[in-house]
Structure 1
Amino acid sequence: MYVPRHFAVDDATTAEFLAGAGAAHLVTATAEGLVATRLPYVWAPEVGAHGALQAHVARTNDQWRRPPVGEAMAIVHGPDAYVTPSWYATKAEHGRVVPTWNYVTAHVYGRLVVHDDEDWLAAHVRALTERFEAARPEPWAVDDAPPAFVAGQLRAVVGLELVVTRVEAKAKLSQNRSDADRAGVAAGFASAGDARMADAVRAAASRKVGA
């Protein structure tokens, strides 16, 4: 991934992003060509030297049966949105501004491990469920469903674990603009109702990413 200095992301911010993102496109280059699946995942920082993304696919999805040639890659997307030049303070000063797109993303590379194992899958789906249900006032739990039904659902999926070897992360959030321009972009997103992007721009400015 092309990552200019302004948009580089430190290890702590990358780990925070991977822990919070929730889903990724798993891409594998196989003997039959490229294969990709969008998957919710659990970030497991304790696995290996660099952590792991743990997910599962339907047994009928044959990506798990097609071994990758070399590394597999997960593309993790954060917030993204169009930036109008009208938000820049410098537009009024000299007009030499153009539109762009702000975004946060990470390309996670690693060794893909298949887990066709009921115990691993049971622990994984519980962890996945607990993660996404945690914020609900009355969280749903796996044990709310009949045991026989849960067992049948587990037999219908296969676990996939991307044991990470390296991560390329990028946060393009107007860090290359002036303070006034960044403030204008954050205010523009806020006025457009995109609080997530507004917060991301402000956070990147406060961290001075790439400085």
Structure 2
Amino acid sequence: MKKYIAEVIGTAALVFFGCGSVTFAGMGDLLGSSTPFAPLAVIAISMAFGLTLAAMAYGVGPVSGCHVNPAVSVGVWVAGRLSTADLVGYIISQCIGAIIGAGVLYLILSGHQGGWDLAKSGLGQNGWSEYSTTSAFIAEFVGTFFFLVVILGATSEKGVTPVAGVAIGVALLVIHINLIRVTGTSVNPARSLGPALFVGGKALAQLWLFIVAPIAGAVAAGALFRAKVIEP
């Protein structure tokens, strides 16, 4: 059970600190604006997700590998590095962790004495409106594909190094910088699930894309490594 508990903790941390960077600082409003601070908001949020993942890679990585993402677990499974039983256990643990992380974030924000409106401010949920559904799907697919290429390469027998966690965190940071204005950047079904369950409405209606696209991208990357097309 240790690895499943580690996945719960790691995923909860990613959702809490990542989505918290959007909500606590009110950066969600800046993302859709043309103010000079908008680019800074993108960088700050991207760093929150990337650095949290890098930190948890060293915190829970030795126990579970720090997947903290169903798409990552699926990709690792397709690559032949994870059992089917663990795949199921990891995904369930990650979803539970994401809900806990979003729930704690919701509890803190709801205690704001100046008043906090969930419908208006959100919970750092994913979604798209300015781009088409096709664009959003491609963005999530491609982002997850390259993310898994980095993860599977950095954690392979010949590629693993003491700084693998940093490389993976930096990869997530860069993916966020590029895609955050398209979908809010998910590349992680659990990260999208947690906030969507609390926010509901559009976030819940669009959740399917943040499950299907990342998993499809992960399967594609995992298949390349399983076939040893790009594995070291």
- TM-score if structure 1 supplies the norm length? 0.24
Higher CA-based Rg: 1
> Relative contact order (alpha carbons < 8 A, sep ≥ 6): 1 or 2 greater?
2
Instruction: Considering fraction of residues, name the structure with more helix.
Output: 2
